[in-house]
Amino acid sequence: MRASVIQIAVDEGESVESRRRRAASLVRDQAGADLVVLPELWTTGAFAYDAFGTEAEPLEGPTYEAMAKAASDAGVWLHAGSIPERDPDGPLYNTSLVFSPSGDLAAAYRKIHRFGFDKGEAVLMGAGGELVTVRLPTTTLGLATCYDLRFPELFRGLVDAGAETLVVSAGWPERRRSHWTLLARARAVENQSFVLACATAGAHAGVPQSGHSIVVDPWGEVLAEAGADEEVLTVEFDPGKVATTREQFPALKDRILGLQPPRRP
C-alpha cells in the first residue's frame, strides 16, 4: 500500500482559496498512491480561532467539492483533513472528510476532543460523539483528529471497531513536537496498528507549527518522518503486518476489561 501524507504549510500570508487550489493540485500529483492524507483545518489553521466562524462551510461546501474532484482526478482514497463545518441546525464542528477514488464521500468524522480548555476550539466548536472507521480494499482506517491523540481510549475503541491503520490529521504546535512523535508511536505500539499522522507546517495566529508528520508501523518503528517545512511524505507499507504482529505478540488478547477502582480502607 502506498500512502502520501501531505504536510501543507498554513501561513497567514496565503488566502484560503489559494491554499485550497494548492491542496487540490498536491492531491492530484499523488496519482498512483492508494491513500492520501491532509492535516487538520488546513484552510484556516487550527489555531486561527477568529477565522473559524468566517471560513466555516457546510459539509458539502467549497472544500468538499474541491477535494471530491481531486480524489477522483487522482483516483485515490483521500483523507482530506478537516474543515470548520457549519451545521445548519447546530454549532460549528471540526469535521474530517474521507473520499473514495470515485470522489464519493466515504466518511465524515467530527472531532471528539476539542482543544483549548476554556477557550479557542473548545468553546467555538461542538464535540463529535461517534467513532468512525472506513473500510479500504486492504485495510480499515480509524479516524482521529489532533488533540484526540492524547486519549488512548478513543484509539482502543477504533481498534475494537476493526481499525488497523489509525489516521491522525492534526495542526500540532512546534512547542509540543516531542509529544506528537511520542504519542504517535505509543498509539501504534499499544494498538498494534499503523499510524499515519499528518501535521501542518508554517505558522499562523502566532503559533509555529510542528511539521514532523510521521508514519509508524505496528511494532512502533518509524517508517518515515517529515521535517518542519511543507513536504509530501510518501511511504509503502504492508497492511498484512497488523495481523502478523497481533498473532506473533498477542498482547491485545490479554486485555482485562472492567477493572474496578481500588477499594477505600
Ligand X SMILES: NC(=O)CCC(=O)C(=O)O
Which residues are the active-site residues?
40, 111, 146
**H helix runs in 29-102, sequence order:** 49-55, 62-74
Using the rule CB under 6 A, which residue among 46, 48, 68, 196 binds ligand X?
A: 46
Element (H, E) at 23: helix 16-28
Please report whether residue 81 would count as binding ligand X according to CB under 6 A.
no
Build a one-symbol-per-residue string for 101-130: x at contacts with ligand X by CB under 6 A, - elsewhere.
Answer: --------------x---------------
- Minimum distance from CB of 62 to ligand X (Å)? 22
11-15 own/partner pairs: CB under 8 Å, 24+ apart: 11/202, 11/203, 11/204, 12/45, 12/48, 12/203, 12/204, 12/205
Task: DSSP letter for 57, please.
Answer: B
Please report whether residue 150 would count as binding ligand X according to CB under 6 A.
yes
Using the rule CB under 6 A, which residue among 42, 109, 147, 237 binds ligand X?
A: 147
Using the rule CB under 6 A, which residue among 146, 195, 196, 226 binds ligand X?
A: 146
How far apart CA 222 and CA 215 sit, in angstroms, is: 6
How far apart CA 101 and CA 80 sit, in angstroms, is: 12
Using the rule CB under 6 A, which residue among 173, 202, 211, 218 binds ligand X?
A: 173
Q: Which residues would be at the binding site for ligand X (CB under 6 A)?
A: 40, 46, 115, 146-147, 150, 171-173, 176, 179
